[in-house]
Amino acid sequence: MLKPPIILPIVPSKYWLLAQCGLLIGVVVLSYWVGGKLAAGAMVVLGAAFGWRGYLRQPKGVLSLTSMGSHFQGRWLRDSQSAEAGLTQHEVQGEAHQVHCDYLGPWLIGLYVGKQRVWLWPDSAPQKSLRETRKLFHRPGR
């Protein structure tokens, strides 16, 4: 009997942004120590621009994960499409991609959905869905 798919409504993570800000503060302090005020100011401007750009480019939408024996398949519906459809518990109709998990930790889940890299942070999807995703990709003894 097939299990129902795991529905992951993914939103941009604020934890990711907080981690990037922490790294930026470290780089700014180091550049101030080495290069002075001008170098630190340049790092603030560049780091803020690239950090905000990265935050806006985080994947958004609904991902439906299904297990196909030893392989996993995902259907990805982008943010604009999922908002129009109002999908939360319904089957996600979208292009099917091969899903591969290469990092499974207590805080982060690293997935490749097709060729796109998706990091699932604790605040990027509902806790219940993240727990089910960990169970799906967990392989004891590895």
pLDDT in tens, 20-44: 999 999 999 999 999 999 999 999 9
Residues 44 and 63 in one domain: no
Query: Whole-number mean pLDDT of the chain?
Result: 85
Residues 52 and 109 in one domain: no
Distance between first and last Cα of the chain: 26
CA dihedral (87, 18, 117, 140) positive or negative: negative
Q: Reduced to 3 states, what is the DSSP secondary structure of residue 13?
A: coil
Q: Could you give the CA distance from residue 138 to residue 142 in angstroms, rounded to a whole number?
A: 9
Domain holding 98, by residue range, is 6-11+59-137
Question: How many Å is the Cα radius of gyration of the chain?
Answer: 18
pLDDT in tens, 81-106: 444 445 444 455 677 889 999 999 98
Axis crossing angle, helix 37-56 with helix 14-35, rounded to the nearest 10: 160
What lies within 8 Å, CB to CB, of 17 at 6+ separation is: 51, 55
User: What whole-number distance in Å separates Cα of residue 113 and Cα of residue 52?
Assistant: 23
For residues 41 and 63, membership in a common domain is answered with no
